[in-house]
Structures are given as C-alpha cells and as structure tokens.
Amino acid sequence: CSRWEEERKEDGVKWMQLEHRGPYFVPLYEPLPEEVQFYYDGKPLKLSPATEEIATFYAKMLDHEYTTKEIFQNNFFSDWRKEMTSEEQEIIKELDKCDFREIHKYFVDKNEARKALPKEEKQKLKEEADKIQEEYGYCILDGHREKIGNFKTEPPGLFRGRGEHPKMGMLKKRIMPEDVIINCSRDSKIPEPPEGHKWKEVRFDNTVTWLASWTENIQNTLKYIMLNPSSKLKGEKDWQKYEVARRLKDVVHTIRARYRKDWKSKEIKKRQRAVALYFIDKLALRAGNEKEEGETADTVGCCSLRVEHIQLHPQLDGQEHVVEFDFLGKDSIRYYNKVSVEEPVFENLQLFVKNKDPTDDLFDQLTTTFLNKHLQHLMDGLTAKVFRTYNASITLQEQLKALTNPEDNVAGKLLSYNRANRAVAILCNHQRSIPKTFARSMQVLQEKIDAKKKQVEEAQEEVKKAEDEFKETKDAKAEAKVEKKKKLLKRLEEQLAKLNVQATDKEENKQIALGTSKLNYLDPRISVAWCKKFGIPIERIYNKTQREKFAWAIDMAGEDFEF
C-alpha cells in the first residue's frame, strides 16, 4: 500500500514515534568593526553590545518605507531605550539626532560583497547550509524520515506586521532555549539544548503534530516548528481538507435552498446568518473572526463587516440591487467589488443598516461561532472556510473545461490553465503589488518579440525567393530548398506565437497572485488529471517543492478525476 494509505491511528493520536534534534538557533550577534560608527547629534558614540545590536536592526531598514512611518519610529525608539544602559538613556533622547547611515552602508556593502563572491565560495556557503539542513531539518516520525518545515528559530529584529499594524517597529526578541518547549516521544533520543542552556520543558504529547514551540513577545502568540508540507502527516491533512470540500458538493444545493428560505425568517439573527452565508458562498469571503482592538491592523471578514464597508445602490451601471464592498481583508489586502445581488438580500441589507452608525456592525447579531455551529449541523466538518476551498476548486475545474482547446500546443494550453487559475485568484481576491522588475522584464520580452517578428519576415522573403526559383527550374534540388525554408518559417512562427502567449500571460498576471490559491485552495488532483489528460508535463504546473507537497495527488489522480 502507498504511504498515504497506511493504517489509520485511533482518533486524536497523530504519531507513535517522534525523534528530532530540536530547533536550530540563529547565530549570536557579531559586534560591528571599530571603524563603523553610530553618531548622536553629529558626534560618534560607542554603544553597548545589546544597544548596538538593536541599532543595526533599524539601520538595515533605513531604505525601507517602514522607517518613515511615525508609529514604527515611536515603537522602535521606546523599545530600544528600554534595552539601553542608564548612561545611554541619559544621552540618547531623540531619534532625530541618531545617525545610522554608516551602519546602513556597512550592511549594504556586506550584502553586495556576498553577492559578488566567486562560485567556489558560494558553493562552500551552500554546503554549510546543507549540512545544517541535514542535521536539524529532518525528524523520524513512525519510522519514516520526514522533512521539517521551519527548523530555525526566527532571528531577532523589528516587528513589521501587515498593513497599518499598531505594533510595527517593536523589538522582536531573540529566542533562547529557555523559551522553547520540546515535543517528542518518551523513548526517543531527547534533543540536547545548546551548551550551558536548558529547555523550558520537554513533553511527550502525541495528540499534536508540532516538534517545538515558544511564545513570541509581540503578539504573545505561540509559534511552532512543524513538519514540511511534503510529509505524510501534512499530506493526509491536505487530502482530508479537499475531501470535506468534495462532500459539500453533494449538499450545497440543500444549503443554498435553506439560506434562501432564511432570508424571510421571522428572526433577524437567522436573516443575518443567511445573508452572510450567501456572501461567503457567492463571493468566497472569509468568515472574519472577532479580534482584540488595538492588537492588530483593522481588518475584517464577512461576519465582522461594518456599515461603512458597504454601499447600497438600487441602480448602478445598468444593474439592479448593487452592493459596493470596500474593506481591508486578511493581511490588509483591500477588497473592492460591486455585485448585483438578489432582491431579498438587498432588502435585508437595507434593514440591517437602518438607524446604524457607520462604525456599527452590519451583522450585529452574528458571530463566526454561531455561523459555524449552524454549518456543522448542516454537514459534518463544514465551516465557513470550506466554501472558499469548494468554490475555488469547482471554479478551476469548470474554467479548465471551458477554456482548454485540445488542438492547442503546450504553450496555448498552459495559457488556458493560467487563465483558469486567474479566475480563482480573482474570486479569492489574491492580489499582489506589481513587481518592481515588471516594466523592465516586459520590455525585454517585447524586444525579443520584435526581433522574432523580423526573423519571420526575413524567412517569408526567403520562402518566396525559393518558390520563384523552383517555378523557373522545376528541379528537385530547388523543391527541397522550398520545403526546408518553409519548415524554418513554421518553426519561427511557432516561436513567435509562444512569445506572444508569454506576453499576454505576463500582462494579465501582473497584479494577481496565483500561488496562494494553487497551494491552499485548489484540489491538486484537478490539475494532475488535467495534465495527464492533455499530456502536459506536471512540472510545467508545479515546481519541485509543490510536487513534493502534492505527491499524494500525483499518486492518486487519473485523467478522469472529477472534483
């Protein structure tokens, strides 16, 4: 049997045996060379090691937008002062008088020097990194050697956060062995802490899948060392996630009929639940959990939408009952969309916003917990999140059916695949900022296209000349020449078509992030089946890391797989 289908353990038990080396701790701070100086109020000032280390965190970020933000500067300065000696606190009173430029230049130069290293030196560094990976990057889980995802602790630095995070600029402290809880099996070789240190605790909990954990100091959240996505454990979990989404396919019609009926419910709470569910289903919105105020950036999901996040237009751009959404979702990504909704939904929304202030909750009687309880009742294992997975996967499958032309060459089919993937990314609102190098690489591609066009024109001339020659001489040699020139022309035309496809793809993709949906929302078996059906090499869709993560799907799916 394949390793995906080995015996299942009893509920809650994740492993019988787990052995590993513990986390790899990032190297300690190396003080700056004597000649690299920090200046305060125009005069050089020698800093104590701890203060200097934190100064380098800020110095490294000088050319970053973060260091221009007041909240970042204030948080940094207040945390930095806490770590200073009392003498330093007496002198360093204002950030504006601090000059980090020399330190910044030192790190920029160091970086450039590392990039410019000869090949042998780079190879040596790679070998050292590989050695650490070999030693710390694997564990033994139930007799299998499995790769660990993130086996290094995060280095200390300044917290960035996404969007306008109120804690940006705060000091992310160095993780020490004393902060770390180790999890392994009782009979395994228990990892040794670095010399002179001890672990916070060692536990033997086989109902969880993490190998080590600690609490980070900024949000006070737990961080874990987990297995790599390619491991059996993660693969099984991934597979189960898509199986739950496939089960939704069989009951989604019943669920839709149910929420439509609830739009007319006597209870306002049920109406709110039904409208929210309609949005989650139709627009693939995230559920949106309740959050502590002031702890994170102000982002919302469906259940936490406020009145100010929607505008209702009875008529707009020739459509009826239009809801205009404008809010910041997860990771402070803006969601902006104008959607024509069904009349009862529109009327309910008018009711929900009545007599409310802009900052009031749209669904004031609804919590994510209440919504998910209801969903669990409708189908075992169903939560709001499953709708996103289901709608993403079903969209990919339908778009692939609609867009793939069996007559196309590989490049043409891949363009269709990316277009289907784009439809999903747009549904899920997976955006990216236009890459900095976009204009330049587009220009390079355009130059290639122009050069190729010229070659095609020249080849057309050559074919015409050869044909005229053959008309005159009618001999076999001239005929062969015509064939040869035509072949060349055909090859060049194919190359030009391929370049044009690339340009289209690049342009359509500049603000859309395909990776998120590919890794997290799309059942890989749909893509594997499509590849097998149309003879596309899987490596054209999934890179090496992705192929490792989706090994279970590549194993399982034949060309007839239907989500």
pLDDT of residue 391: 94
Pick from 283, 258, 281, 255: nearest CA to 271: 258
pLDDT of residue 347: 95
545 and 414 in a common domain: yes
521 is an active site residue = yes
374 and 241 in a common domain: yes
Note whether residue 484 is domain-resident: yes
486 and 501 in a common domain: yes
* CATH number (domain holding residue 296): 3.90.15.10
Task: Tell me the CA distances in angstroms from 98 to 40, 76, 87, 90, 158, one per residue in order.
Answer: 5, 13, 16, 14, 17
pLDDT of residue 1: 42
Note whether residue 328 is domain-resident: no
Beta bridge partners of 223: 214
Check: CB of residue 227 under 8 Å from CB of residue 148. Answer: yes
Note whether residue 449 is domain-resident: yes
Residue 248 belongs to what domain range? 234-307+343-382
Beta bridge partners of 138: 147
Task: Tell me the CA distances in angstroms from 549 to 21, 148, 228, one per residue in order.
Answer: 23, 12, 8
Among residues 76, 93, 119, the one where a domain terminates is 119
Sign of CA dihedral 403, 406, 408, 411: positive
Cα–Cα distance measured from residue 445 to residue 334, given in angstroms and rounded to the nearest whole number: 31
Q: What is the pTM of this model?
A: 0.78
295 and 213 in a common domain: no
* CATH number (domain holding residue 72): 1.10.10.41
246 and 291 in a common domain: yes
Cα–Cα distance measured from residue 415 to residue 506, given in angstroms and rounded to the nearest whole number: 10
352 and 243 in a common domain: yes
220 and 366 in a common domain: no
Note whether residue 155 is domain-resident: yes
Check: CB of residue 227 under 8 Å from CB of residue 233. Answer: yes
Angle 368-378/232-262 helices, nearest 10 degrees?
Answer: 90
DSSP 76-125: HHHHHHHHS-HHHHHH---GGGEE-HHHHHHHHHHHHHHHT--HHHHHHH
539 and 414 in a common domain: yes
Q: Classify strands 222-225 and 310-316 as parallel, antiparallel or unpaired.
A: unpaired
Cα–Cα distance measured from residue 491 to residue 512, given in angstroms and rounded to the nearest whole number: 32
Check: CB of residue 547 under 8 Å from CB of residue 538. Answer: yes
Neighbours of 355 (CB within 10 A): 5
Sheet holding 334-340, edge to edge: 310-316, 319-328, 334-340
Strand ranges in 378-509 using DSSP code E only, listed in sequence order? none
Q: Classify strands 18-19 and 171-172 as parallel, antiparallel or unpaired.
A: unpaired
Check: CB of residue 465 under 8 Å from CB of residue 457. Answer: no
Q: With H, G, I as helix, E, B as strand and everything else as coil, classify residue 295.
A: coil
Note whether residue 1 is domain-resident: no
Note whether residue 129 is domain-resident: yes
Check: CB of residue 413 under 8 Å from CB of residue 537. Answer: no
Strand ranges in 107-219 using DSSP code E only, listed in sequence order? 138-141, 144-147, 157-158, 171-172, 181-183, 201-203, 212-215
Extract the tokens encoding 205. Answer: 């909990």
441 and 375 in a common domain: no
360 and 254 in a common domain: yes
Q: Classify strands 222-225 and 319-328 as parallel, antiparallel or unpaired.
A: unpaired
Among residues 119, 143, 161, the one where a domain terminates is 119
Q: Which region, left, alpha or beta, applies to residue 53 given φ > 0 means left and ψ of -120 to 50 means alpha?
A: alpha
536 and 467 in a common domain: yes
* CATH number (domain holding residue 162): 2.170.11.10
533 and 455 in a common domain: yes
Please state, rounded to an integer, the average pLDDT across all residues of the chain: 91
pLDDT of residue 468: 86
Total count of domains within the chain: 4
Among residues 196, 213, 230, the one where a domain terminates is 230
In the chain (563 residues long), the average pLDDT of successive 10-residue segments reads 56 88 94 94 94 96 93 96 94 94 95 92 94 94 91 94 90 95 94 95 93 92 90 88 94 95 95 95 88 77 94 92 93 90 95 94 92 93 93 95 90 91 91 86 93 92 88 83 90 91 87 87 95 93 92 89 91
Note whether residue 482 is domain-resident: yes
Beta bridge partners of 139: 146
Check: CB of residue 66 under 8 Å from CB of residue 160. Answer: yes
pLDDT of residue 81: 95
Note whether residue 142 is domain-resident: yes
Name the active-site residue from 58, 138, 521, 542.
Answer: 521
Check: CB of residue 385 under 8 Å from CB of residue 242. Answer: no
pLDDT of residue 472: 84
* CATH number (domain holding residue 436): 1.10.132.10
